[in-house]
Amino acid sequence: MDIWQFATNQEGLPKAPEGFTEGSPRAISLGYFDGVHAGHRIILEKLIYEAQKRSLPPVIHTFSDTPISKLVSGEDTHRGDLTTLKERCYFFSRVGAAETTLFPFNDRIAHMEPEDFFHKYLVEKLGAKVLIAGDDYRFGRGQSGDMKLLKSLCDPLGIEVFSVKPLCFEGRKVSSGWIRDLVSAGDIRTANRLLGYPISYQGVVEEGKKLGRTLGFPTANVRITDGKIIPRYGVYASLLSTDSGTFPSVTSIGLRPTVNSTDPNPLSETTIIDCDTNLYGKNIRVHLLHFLRPEFKFPNVEALRDQVNRDMAEVRHYHEHHAADYTIMLPGVL
């Protein structure tokens, strides 16, 4: 898959990168696609199907920066994305997209009239012949453009438009915002069901104070990527993936109040069940599966050790009885 990162010109408007063929006929899906959740994948599957029918390249148009509409929803400030840009692009390639066009999101884009955005970019630059989006898709200044307007703009030009109905779960529309709420609340099992895969956090293992090793539970410590949503502080059943395989594990995410009073940044600490291996400096990914308990401040290290022993026993039991629940979700995920 080709990834085209559009820069901005002197006026702050998107400028095509070198090598991108402007105006070439394309079938395009529109959206931010945070999480590339189960509902998003219905849109992307529709894109691939309609593109193949017409011998057009399937292209995903999205933004490299979080749109204003995603930063604030009502009075709720956006807490971070479910997926990084790199992770989103990985999923796009997995579904079979030929190209992904990444526009910067800035004030000039935010204040463009929907008609201008349609003609200047979707038609002239991207060469849209087929457009596919969820039926709640909005574009242009103040989100004033909707699917009805998009269809009225496309019809005179012979551009086909497909509106995809939302996927619902237990009577509620699956959305990135709902999944972010679930992750923040620690309802990881429901979040994973809506995503269609376990949410995960990736990074290089850093060397810490090695307190876990002195307690008998060596941990792989990873900082959560800036801009990615931070789950509810607490302890989780998890899986740890390295270049040598995927292992049942337990993960604690939070500020470590029992042993830390100076570092204000949350840390992900993961211990592989019944395995002691040195992961310092290695790139790992931790998949969260199930929330066990919130983060506590214990009176002393001994009380912390006792609780970690109980956590390990509970997580071991979880993995023994739920392996089939998550192994079917793992093929093809990050």
Domains of the chain: 2-170 (3.40.50.620), 197-327 (2.40.30.30)
Pairing of strands 99-103, 58-63: parallel
User: Can you give the pLDDT at residue 69?
Assistant: 62
300 contacts 56 by C-beta, under 8 angstroms: no
What pLDDT digit, counting tens, does each position of 246-300 carry? 999 999 999 988 888 777 889 999 999 988 778 889 999 999 999 999 999 898 8
Q: 27-47 as b/e, with b when 16 or more CB fall inside 10 Å?
A: bbbbbbbbbbbbbbbbbbebb
Backbone dihedral angles phi then psi of residue 313, each to the nearest 5 degrees: -65, -40
What pLDDT digit, counting tens, does each position of 311-333 carry? 999 999 999 988 777 766 666 56
Whole-number average pLDDT of the chain: 91
Query: What are the counts of helices (DSSP H) followed by strands (DSSP E) for the chain?
Result: 10, 18
> In terms of Cα–Cα distance, which of 110, 102, 91, 108 is closest to 45?
91
Q: Distance between CA 150 and CA 145 in Å, rounded?
A: 7
| pLDDT greater than 60 at residue 71 | no
The model scores a pTM over 0.75: yes
